[in-house]
């Protein structure tokens, strides 16, 4: 993509996710997924002259967009958020007042056919969020064994025809290696016998391969504990998920860290002797309004969860 502005990007739950941070003007905040900068720009608008925002992104196009922000309070880090603690330490940051995560793939990534995220375009089968490192989807599909492909498609795509999809992929690549999204979509269509109305047969397989290539769920699971350890007391964690797998990880993490010690019910311990949980959930899950979904159908599946750091030990 030659122009980072070529594709319209509507930031989902923009106000809700930033409001949930309860921003302090002099605070230090992290946007784990800069994207095209919607959340970051709004956070900056709420910070005072001594505030600070550090944003992360793997995508070189996101980094190019971030370079257009000439603000001394702003720092962009070309890394995935799994490097959160180490990257912040290099910047001299050991505590933060809030952290926002907007998970999954962005609209520009989907709408730019050359990135290989979408079956709607016939393009090189890449799917990497960071095109400067790591193996492409084509490289993995052309080398992984059938059992591994089936497990990925089943676990990350929740595809009930995962075994058939894997078998079809292995059969096809024996004749000719995969090179394009169109080739993969066509093969998957022969293996998926039925699909929900309005959903392309390749939807779940493409999701699964993208999640696997980018280690999305693994990195989310590794990053949430880092975020909790960095938050000051009263600091907020604001996370937007777009599908059940990532939302399940966020939900379980927040619930687990908001529960505290689990002691036998008849143990003679006073309440004051039980350590407080390190997190408290501050609101019910928040979804996009009808108006937002109408303007941006991709917001339909978004769910925002918010938690606050307490005085409880980790």
Annotated binding-site members for S-adenosyl-L-methionine: 37-39, 57, 81, 102, 109
Residue 111 main-chain phi, psi, to 5 deg? -85, -15
Annotated binding residues, written as ranges, equal 37-39, 57, 81, 102, 109
Residue 41 and residue 144: Cα distance in Å, rounded? 41
| CA–CA dist 85, 227 (Å, integer) | 8
Q: Distance between CA 152 and CA 248 in Å, rounded?
A: 17
Q: Which residues contact 68 (CB under 8 A, 6 or more apart)?
A: none
Residue 178 CA to residue 137 CA, distance in Å, equals 9
DSSP H helices, the chain, are: 14-19, 38-46, 60-66, 84-90, 107-111, 137-141, 146-157, 162-175, 181-191, 203-213, 216-230, 244-257, 290-295
Number of residues that make up the chain? 314
Whole-number Å distance between alpha carbons of 268 and 254: 28
User: Which of 61, 102, 96 is closest to 81 using CA atoms?
Assistant: 102
Q: Tell me which DSSP letter residue 83 carries.
A: G
Asked if 280 contacts 297 with a C-beta cutoff of 8 angstroms, the reply is no
Please give the structure tokens belonging to residue 184. 């993969």
**Among 312, 311, 310, 286, residue whose Cα is nearest residue 299:** 286
216-230 and 244-257 helices, crossing angle to 10°? 30
């Amino acid at each position: 993509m030659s122009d980072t502005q070529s594709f319209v990007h509507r930031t989902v739950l923009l106000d809700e996710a930033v409001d949930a941070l309860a921003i302090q003007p002099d605070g230090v905040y992290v946007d784990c997924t800069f994207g095209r900068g919607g959340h970051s720009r709004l956070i900056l608008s709420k910070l005072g002259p001594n505030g600070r925002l550090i944003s992360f992104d793997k995508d070189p196009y996101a980094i190019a967009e971030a370079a257009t922000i000439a603000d001394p309070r702003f720092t962009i880090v070309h890394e995935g958020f799994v490097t959160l603690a180490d990257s912040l330490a290099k910047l001299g940051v050991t505590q933060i007042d809030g952290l926002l995560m907007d998970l999954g793939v962005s609209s520009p990534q989907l709408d730019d056919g050359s990135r290989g995220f979408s079956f709607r375009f016939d393009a090189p089968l890449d799917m990497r969020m960071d095109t400067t490192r790591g193996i492409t989807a084509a490289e993995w599909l052309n080398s992984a064994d059938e059992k591994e492909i089936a497990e990925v498609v089943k676990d990350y795509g929740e595809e009930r025809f995962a075994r058939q999809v894997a078998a079809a992929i292995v059969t096809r690549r024996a004749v000719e290696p995969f090179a394009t999204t169109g080739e993969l979509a066509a093969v998957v269509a022969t293996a998926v016998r039925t699909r929900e109305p309005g959903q392309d047969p390749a939807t779940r397989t493409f999701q699964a391969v993208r999640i696997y290539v980018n280690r999305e769920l693994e990195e989310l699971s590794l990053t949430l504990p880092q975020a909790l350890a960095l938050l000051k007391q009263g600091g907020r964690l604001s996370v937007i998920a777009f599908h059940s797998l990532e939302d399940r990880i966020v939900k379980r993490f927040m619930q687990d860290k908001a529960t505290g010690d689990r002691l036998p019910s008849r143990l003679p311990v006073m309440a004051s002797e039980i350590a407080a949980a390190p997190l408290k959930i501050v609101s019910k899950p928040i979804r996009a309004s009808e108006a937002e979904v109408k303007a941006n159908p991709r917001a339909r599946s978004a769910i925002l969860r918010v938690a606050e750091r307490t005085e409880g030990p980790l």
